[in-house]
Structure 1
């Protein structure tokens, strides 16, 4: 009868399971109709529409649904999109400060080359989302739920993940500066592609994440301070 190898017995150290990869969206947009309907409306329903090079700043689309849509080159300063649902859509070249997406749902979405600052995403739900390229400053992900999300080739400055739940989230070839993970819950979060990896708060919440040896050495002083270890 064959004996099963146990950690430290007969088979050497046990091999820990690899971090689970995020599932990426597969967005295939249909033929789109250009939007000619004026300003966004609260609880509006937008299906198969392309918003191109529009100034949406200050408009109110709270609770709206965007299905199979493309938003390209639009300004979204202070645009109100709280509780909006963005599904199977591609958002390219968005720019703006203070965009309000609190409690919004983004599912099967690609966000490409955005330049956003102070975007409010607290309480939001992101599932199968890729954020590719661009620069995102002071994103507010407090109490948000991120599942199958990839941050790729982008710069994240002081993102706030306080109290958020992150599952199967990857940081690929991107900069993560001054991140706040206070009270966050992480599961299968791959931080190895974040260079630099700067954690301003919440080092004690990184259980459930994987980092590289080099990142561990970079974080060593902060980890020592977190644990109350004096290094002389």
Structure 2
């Protein structure tokens, strides 16, 4: 697989209006831009955002389990340690954002684009990723434990110490990525595209002595 997959962009009209984040009974936000603010100490189950842009928004101590994101853009946001477990995330972009430790475990992601993000320690454990592109992201110590990849691409990312345990990497192209070590079983490496230098590193996992 090449380092580029076709990603459907979020479908957001140009004439959306600014809106302050104030939780409502429906837990639904749509057709709006939320910008230049902080969302703090919110714990809301099954909140929905449809056709929404977040710009320069800081999330602090936020838990949105079972979140539904459809046609959403996070632009220069800070979602560090935010909890989106069991989320449904479709046609979403994370652009130049700090998503350190973002919890996306048990989530379903489709047509999601991560560009120039600090995504160290991000968690995708048990998640399903379909048509997802990571472009120029730092994914150090990212956790993809027992994830399912369908048309997933990594382009020029730092994936050092990322964990792909029990996640088959067949068809995944890591040649443009940088890492000294990643956590993956040899069986799950079958069909993964790597450079010759990267292959030497994987050979060490087999206990080979390379001279």
Which structure: greater strand fraction?
A: 1
Determine the C-alpha separation between the residues in 2 that align with 1:220 and 1:148: 30
Q: Structure 1 stretches of 5 or more lacking a match?
A: 1-15, 45-63
TM-score, structure 2 as length reference: 0.80
Determine the C-alpha separation between the residues in 2 that align with 1:109 and 1:207: 29
Determine the C-alpha separation between the residues in 1 that align with 2:203 and 2:159: 16
Determine the C-alpha separation between the residues in 2 that align with 1:122 and 1:221: 36
Determine the C-alpha separation between the residues in 2 that align with 1:203 and 1:110: 30
- Larger gyration radius, structure 1 or structure 2: 1
Task: Name whichever of 213-222 and 140-149 sits farther off.
Answer: 213-222
Change (3 A) 1:102 1:207: farther
Determine the C-alpha separation between the residues in 1 that align with 2:119 and 2:3: 25
Matches within 5 A, 1:136-151: 136-151=99-114
CA-atom RMSD in angstroms: 2.6
Determine the C-alpha separation between the residues in 1 that align with 2:34 and 2:80: 18
Asked whether the equivalents of residues 114 and 134 of structure 1 are also in contact (C-alpha less than 8 Å), the reply is: yes
> Residue in 2 aligned with 1:231?
209
Change (3 A) 1:75 1:156: same
TM-score, structure 1 as length reference: 0.73
Q: Aligned residues, how many?
A: 193
> Residue in 2 aligned with 1:108?
71
Per-residue Cα deviation, 1:50-80 (whole angstroms, up to 9, x for no partner): xxxxxxxxxxxxxx01110211122122212
Higher RCO (CA < 8 A, seq sep 6+): 2
Asked whether the equivalents of residues 139 and 162 of structure 2 are also in contact (C-alpha less than 8 Å), the reply is: no
Change (3 A) 1:199 1:82: farther
Per-residue Cα deviation, 1:87-107 (whole angstroms, up to 9, x for no partner): 001011111333112111100
Whether 1:40 and 2:23 are equivalent positions in the alignment is yes
Change (3 A) 1:229 1:24: farther
> Residue in 1 aligned with 2:162?
200
Counterpart pick for 1:189 among 140, 145, 152? 152
Per-residue Cα deviation, 1:157-187 (whole angstroms, up to 9, x for no partner): 1111110000110011222211111100001
Asked whether the equivalents of residues 139 and 159 of structure 1 are also in contact (C-alpha less than 8 Å), the reply is: yes
Matches within 5 A, 1:209-228: 209-212=172-175, 215=178, 216-217=194-195, 220=199, 223-224=202-203, 228=206
Instruction: After the TM superposition, list the runs of 4 or more consecutive aligned residues in structure 1 that deviate by more than 4 angstroms.
Output: 16-19, 217-222
Change (3 A) 1:213 1:71: closer
Q: Structure 2 stretches of 5 or more lacking a match?
A: 179-193
